[in-house]
Amino acid sequence: MSWKDEIDELRKRQALTRAMGGPEKLERQRAAGRLNVRERISLLSDEGSFREIGSIAGTASYDEDGNLTGLMPANCVFGRAKVRGRDVVLVADDFTVRGGAADAAIVEKQIQAEAMARDLRLPIVRLIEGTGGGGSVKSILDMGATYVPFNPAWDLVVENLETVPVVSLLLGPVAGLGAARAVSSHYSVMVHGQAQMFVAGPPVVAGIGEDVTKEELGGADIQLAAGAVDDAFASEAEAMEAARWFLSYLPNSVHELPARTTPSDDPARTDPALSAIVPRDKRYAYDMHAILASTMDKGSVFEMGRNFGQSVITAFARLDGWPVAVIASNPKVYGGGWTAESAQKLIRFIDLAETFRLPIVHFVDIPGFVIGTRAERAGTIRHGARALAALYQASVPMCAIIVRKAFGVAGAAMMNHTGFRYRYAWPSGDWGSLPLEGGVEAAFKAALETAEDPAAMKAELSRQMRAFSSPFKTAERFWVEEIIDPAETRPLLTEFARLSAPLRERGDKKPRYRP
């Protein structure tokens, strides 16, 4: 006895679901310049590696004799795949079926995708397009009632942030619960001109009197500047390559450690150009990205969130093959001063490093918090204090390189000073409670106001203080541990990566990660 008829029925149903929303909807997707859900899965995953789960889930129709006449697939496709040889969970919205809004099967499929990532301890990549939520207002007519809202699988979404790498690719318009899923990630990416993200789309926003296009409301430039997403690229292929690169630095879950790759760069390499990269005139900036490129393994620097909180650079990189998290001041923006936005960016990045046990390298040039009325209205000190708390709560090994300035509360946030201070300073180091510029006036305000020649007194006080502000004076008292030739920074950092590698511990206690 054979089950051929049933197997034929299975193949028939699978063919119907692979037709997605049908020729007209597929053509509309193509005309909009967007790939369909199955093209996306093929583009991201290794050839032939995708194994779908729930391949015939959907809404079926039958004739009077009970024969299948049609099958509209669920607009969530998920399963296992390999990405660069590595097992991951892929879950993707099909915009050609009800614009990605939920139907009877999508909720359970999303739940199972998140549960699969958690239980099998695998990274999850979400390909998001649509709302991914409870459907539209029209669904009231289908259900015959309204319901109290809930967020499907949100316990799993939150748990996965503390357990496995989570990546979201926004590949078209994304709203509502779809937007919440997108930002509840360790790394989120949009496609310029193709993807938009909003709490509610233009038709709903028109109800409050705002007449805007999708791009004006939630285009990539807006969301990048707001820090709601991390990166944006010109094409879906580039966005997917960024996702692959991001995942390469992380383990499958917190139950493993980030893997070392085969070293391809001399760990003892020095760079004499670094000894002259910082200008003597403090009014001039320099290229921190060039310092990162020189000291990290060649070609390994992967920057995240470059459009938000731009006075701070956050990146993954490798040192002699070991993956590390890198924080660096950007003196070209606010002189490297901390803003409310850069503090928020730091909190999330430090939490990411702590979650997946990545040692932190911090290149420091912090003149303090950015000041002024705008900074006060942004609550800079509140966000800055939260960033300081995140740094002191982190338990991963840290190494600080003081490149130039370190002033005030923000400057003190280079590392947790209560343990061993794995720290080096360049001869260009300049530190204190306040910079001399402006600090003299604040400290000697009363004396300057009564002086016969305030300008002369200020100049003399500045001269005296400058004589004591040499980093060598600080090193004499062991208030800074070691001053180094900048050219020798890389060998010292590769040594840090080697020494800290055994200190990384798999943790049963899950760190708290918030999107």
* pLDDT tens-digit readout, 420-439: 999 999 999 998 765 655 55
Question: Do the strands 76-83 and 51-53 form a parallel or antiparallel pair, or are they unpaired?
Answer: antiparallel
Shared-domain flag, residues 40 and 181: yes
Shared-domain flag, residues 233 and 318: no
276 versus 141: the higher-pLDDT residue is 276
Which among 145, 463, 62 is positioned nearest to 455, based on CA atoms? 463
473 HSE (CA, 13 A, CB side): 9
Shared-domain flag, residues 173 and 108: yes
Tokens representing 136 are: 């539209």
Last residue of a domain, one of 214, 247, 280: 247
Shared-domain flag, residues 213 and 341: no
Number of folded domains that form the chain: 2
Asked whether the predicted pLDDT for residue 344 surpasses 80, the reply is yes
Give percent of the chain with pLDDT exceeding 90.
79
Give the CATH number for residue 276.
3.90.226.10
Q: What is the pLDDT of residues 238-264, one digit of tens each?
A: 999 999 999 999 999 999 999 999 999
Shared-domain flag, residues 140 and 205: yes
**What does the alpha-carbon distance between residue 43 and residue 41 come to, in Å, rounded to a whole number?**
5
| pLDDT, mean of residues 224-234 | 97
- Residue 104 confidence (pLDDT): 47
102 HSE (CA, 13 A, CB side): 24
Last residue of a domain, one of 231, 247, 263: 247
Residue 176 is given by DSSP the state: T
Judged by DSSP in three states, 148 sits in: coil
Shared-domain flag, residues 381 and 489: yes
The answer to whether 93 and 128 have CB atoms below 8 angstroms apart is yes
**Whole-prediction pTM:** 0.90
Judged by DSSP in three states, 466 sits in: helix
Find the domain containing 338 and state its range: 272-433+470-503
What does pLDDT average to over the chain? 91
Sorted by sequence, the CB contacts under 8 Å of residue 269 that are 6+ apart come out as 490, 491
Q: Is residue 1 part of a domain?
A: no
Helix (H) or strand (E) holding 399: strand 398-407
| pLDDT, mean of residues 408-424 | 93
Shared-domain flag, residues 215 and 278: no
Residue 299 is given by DSSP the state: T
Shared-domain flag, residues 328 and 369: yes
Torsion of CA 382, 228, 405, 425, to 10 degrees: 110
Q: What is the pLDDT of residues 315-331, one digit of tens each?
A: 999 999 999 999 999 99
- Residue 150 confidence (pLDDT): 67
The answer to whether 79 and 90 have CB atoms below 8 angstroms apart is yes
∠ CA 339-340-342, nearest 5°, is 60
Last residue of a domain, one of 213, 230, 247: 247
∠ CA 122-126-129, nearest 5°, is 170
| pLDDT, mean of residues 341-349 | 97
Rg, C-alpha atoms of the chain: 27
Helix 380-393 to helix 340-355 angle (10° resolution) is 20
Shared-domain flag, residues 209 and 306: no
Tokens representing 183 are: 């930002």
Tokens representing 205 are: 């926003």
Shared-domain flag, residues 349 and 281: yes
